[in-house]
Amino acid sequence: MGSEFQNRRDFLKYFIGGTIALSGLDSFSNDLVKRKELKKLTLLYTNDQHSRIEPFPDNDPKYAGQGGFAKRAAVIKQIRKEEENILLLDAGDIFQGTPYFNYYQGELEFKLMSQMGYDAATLGNHDFDLGISNIVRQMPHATFQFLNCNYNFSDTELTGKILPYKIFNKGGLKIGVFGIGIELEGLVSKHLYGNVKYNNPVDCANSSAHHLKHNMNCDYIICLSHLGYKYDSSKISDLVLASQSKNIDLVIGGHTHTFLNEPVNTTNSEGKQVLITQVGWAGIWLGRIDVFFSHRGEKLFHSGEKQKI
């Protein structure tokens, strides 16, 4: 593995000595995309939407006026005009949190996500809040694929309806996406998750990633995880998963409602770079990562920013 630069500034310092202005570089990579010397993949993502169809009310102490599916839909529509290769993903807990879920059981969440063109989502613990049968009942409203590779659904109504992974072909790039779920025992009532069997997330993630990388020849591998970003205890988290992983490039996480200003740069069990990202909850933020690919290259640097729009 080559040099890993925490941010663009480090990269520039390394090459040039830290005296250059920061502008110009973004358009330079984009220029190369236009000249077909680089390929660009734009990842858009949410996690823990929790049925927040409408923005928080104006008198909310913390998030007044923030979020809302219709705002997100407009931003996504705009980005679709500008970018060619987009994947729109969600890391689970779409359900539960506003009366929309109590009254309509998730129907509107799935319909609006389908309208926005979501490609895939993984299941979070709260997606089981009205039982497995409710997930099955709402699925016809979703045009996107549900992914999970560490729950065994074979003894449930969900059998065959959830895939372990899916490969997306985007402008000549092969992107492998798989899902990982949290242990449901102790978190969700047994009568709601029924016979869903939980398997070790690290083993399942590594075996999916290995398959996607070496058998399916994917160029980029994304783990949609609902494990949670970090815990004080030894509980399995995205940080633990990433450190014990191989072949995963990016973990899009959820569950802990962690607002990360930018993806966290960490290393896997082979010392290679893995990014972990999460955008809080309730659709307050929309995450975006642009990945530029070349025929030969290393992860030269990662740069991130936060924008209020």
Partner 1 sequence: MIRLLRYILLTVILSACTAHFHVSEVKSTHYELKSSKNDSIALLNTLPYKLKLDNEMKQVVAYSDSNLTKDGNDLSLGNFACQSVEDYVRTNRNQIAGKHIIILNRGGLRNSIPIGEITKGHIFELMPFDNEIVIIKISGEKVMECILSMVKDKKLISRNLSLTVKEDELSDIKIWGIPFNIKEDYYVVTSDYLAMGGDNCGFFGKPISYETTSLKLRDAIFNHCFALTKINKHIIPDKTIGIRISK
Report 83-142 residues binding partner 1 (CB under 8 A). 96-104, 108, 111-112, 115-116, 129
The window from 68-76, 83-91, 140-148, 159-167 that contacts partner 1 (CB under 8 A) reads 68-76
Q: Whole-number minimum distance, CB 57 to partner 1, in Å?
A: 8
Distance CA 264, CA 189 (A): 33
Q: Whole-number minimum distance, CB 51 to partner 1, in Å?
A: 8
Q: Which two tokens stand for residue 152?
A: 């065994």
Q: Whole-number minimum distance, CB 46 to partner 1, in Å?
A: 10
Distance CA 108, CA 60 (A): 23
Distance CA 179, CA 199 (A): 12
Q: Which residue number, 164 or 304, has a Cβ lying nearer to partner 1? A: 304
Q: Whole-number minimum distance, CB 104 to partner 1, in Å?
A: 6
Asked if residue 276 lies in contact with residue 255, where contact means CB atoms within 8 angstroms, the answer is no
Strand, helix or coil at 5?
strand
Q: Which two tokens stand for residue 34?
A: 């236009």
Window 288-307: contact mask with partner 1 (x via CB under 8 A): xxxxxxxxxxxxxxxxxxxx
Distance CA 64, CA 76 (A): 22
113 half-sphere exposure, CB direction, 13 A CA radius: 35
The window from 57-65, 141-149, 196-204, 240-248 that contacts partner 1 (CB under 8 A) reads 57-65
93 half-sphere exposure, CB direction, 13 A CA radius: 29
Listed in sequence order, the residues at least 6 apart from 301 whose beta carbon sits closer than 8 Å to its beta carbon are: 4, 5, 6, 7, 8, 10, 11
For 108, other C-beta atoms within 10 Å of its C-beta total 17
Q: Which residue number, 112 or 163, has a Cβ lying nearer to partner 1? A: 112
Q: Which residue number, 55 or 162, has a Cβ lying nearer to partner 1? A: 55
Q: Whole-number minimum distance, CB 162 to partner 1, in Å?
A: 23
Q: Quick one: which of 13, 75, 199, 267 contacts partner 1 (CB under 8 A)? A: 75
Strands 173-180 and 165-170: antiparallel
Sheet with strand 165-170: strands edge to edge = 165-170, 173-180, 220-225, 250-252, 273-277, 264-267
Q: Quick one: which of 34, 161, 190, 214 contacts partner 1 (CB under 8 A)? A: 190
- Residue (of 62, 126, 64) closest to 96 by Cα position: 126
Residues of span 229-288 touching partner 1 by CB under 8 A: 249, 260-263, 275, 277, 279, 283-288
Residues of span 206-225 touching partner 1 by CB under 8 A: 217, 219-220
Q: Whole-number minimum distance, CB 293 to partner 1, in Å?
A: 4
- Residue 86 pairs in a beta bridge with 42
Q: Quick one: which of 81, 186, 234, 271 contacts partner 1 (CB under 8 A)? A: 186
The total number of residues shown for the chain amounts to 309
Q: Whole-number minimum distance, CB 25 to partner 1, in Å?
A: 7
Q: Which residue number, 20 or 136, has a Cβ lying nearer to partner 1? A: 20
Residues of span 7-26 touching partner 1 by CB under 8 A: 15-16, 19-21, 24-26
Owner of token pair 């984009």: 30
Q: Which residue number, 83 or 163, has a Cβ lying nearer to partner 1? A: 83
Binding to partner 1 by residue 170, rule CB under 8 A? no
Q: Whole-number minimum distance, CB 221 to partner 1, in Å?
A: 11
Q: Quick one: which of 47, 48, 49, 50 contacts partner 1 (CB under 8 A)? A: 50
